[in-house]
Structures are given as C-alpha cells and as structure tokens.
C-alpha cells in the first residue's frame, strides 16, 4: 500500500524535476504557506481601522506576487510542462487564488 507522501510526490512528479525547479517550487510554496498562515491569524484577530496592520498585511499580500513570479519561473523551466503532466500547475493555481482571497480579506478586515 502506498503512503500519502508517495502519492503526493508522484502527483507532483518530484523525481523528474530538476534541482532548480525543486528550489523554485519550495520557495513559492513557502511564501504561500507564510501568507496563508499570516492571513489565517488575521481572520481570528481582526482589528478594523488599524492602519499599521493594514499596511503590514498589504506587504504580506505583495509576497503572493513574488510567489507567483517564482511559480511562473518554475513552470517555464519545468521539464514536466512539455508532457502536460499533472501537478505542475498546482502552486500557480493555489497562489493565484490566495492572491485574490487575501486582498479581499485585507480590505474587509482592516480597510475602514
């Protein structure tokens, strides 16, 4: 029986990625995890009208753009792109949706 880790790494075609692609993927995933954690904390600790927190989370939101750039670089240099394999667009889809959701959260939680 295969483990969850094996299924996940097979889905991402981890063994066929080059070292540079792995680094770009991990960097973009790390940024996405940080932004997700920061906005999860913000949802549970809102402070409407706090300008300092608004600008801080605006900066954190900007990290999504950096994550998208890293994810796009990984995608463009990926050997998986030619074979149209599953999993290679995962990070771009996740960060793209994160970009939209966190911007809306920042406006709702702190703009005002």
Chain segment 47-99, per-residue pLDDT in tens: 888 888 888 888 888 888 888 888 888 878 777 666 666 666 777 888 888 88
Model confidence at 4: pLDDT above 60: yes
Domain that holds residue 43: 4-110
Q: What is the domain count for the chain?
A: 1
Instruction: Answer yes or no: are the C-beta atoms of 65 and 18 closer than 8 Å.
Output: no
**Integer angstrom CA distances of residue 74 from 18, 25, 44, 60, 88:** 10, 6, 33, 21, 9
Q: Which residue has the higher pLDDT, 82 or 6?
A: 6
Instruction: Give the range among 8-17, 36-45, 95-104 with minimum mean pLDDT.
Output: 8-17
pLDDT attached to residue 84: 66
pLDDT attached to residue 5: 78
pLDDT attached to residue 34: 92
pLDDT attached to residue 85: 64
Token reading at 72 = 């796009």
Mean pLDDT for all residues in the chain: 81
pLDDT attached to residue 106: 82
């Amino acid at each position: 029986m295969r483990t969850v880790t094996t299924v996940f790494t097979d889905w991402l075609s981890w063994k066929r990625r080059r070292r540079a692609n792995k680094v770009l993927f991990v960097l973009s995933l790390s940024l996405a995890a940080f932004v997700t954690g920061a906005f999860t904390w913000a949802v549970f600790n809102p402070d409407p009208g706090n300008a300092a927190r608004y600008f801080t989370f605006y900066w954190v939101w900007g990290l999504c753009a950096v994550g998208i750039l890293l994810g796009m670089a990984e995608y463009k240099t990926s050997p998986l792109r030619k074979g149209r394999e599953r999993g290679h667009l995962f990070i771009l889809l996740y960060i793209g949706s994160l970009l939209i959701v966190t911007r809306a959260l920042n406006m709702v939680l702190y703009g005002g």
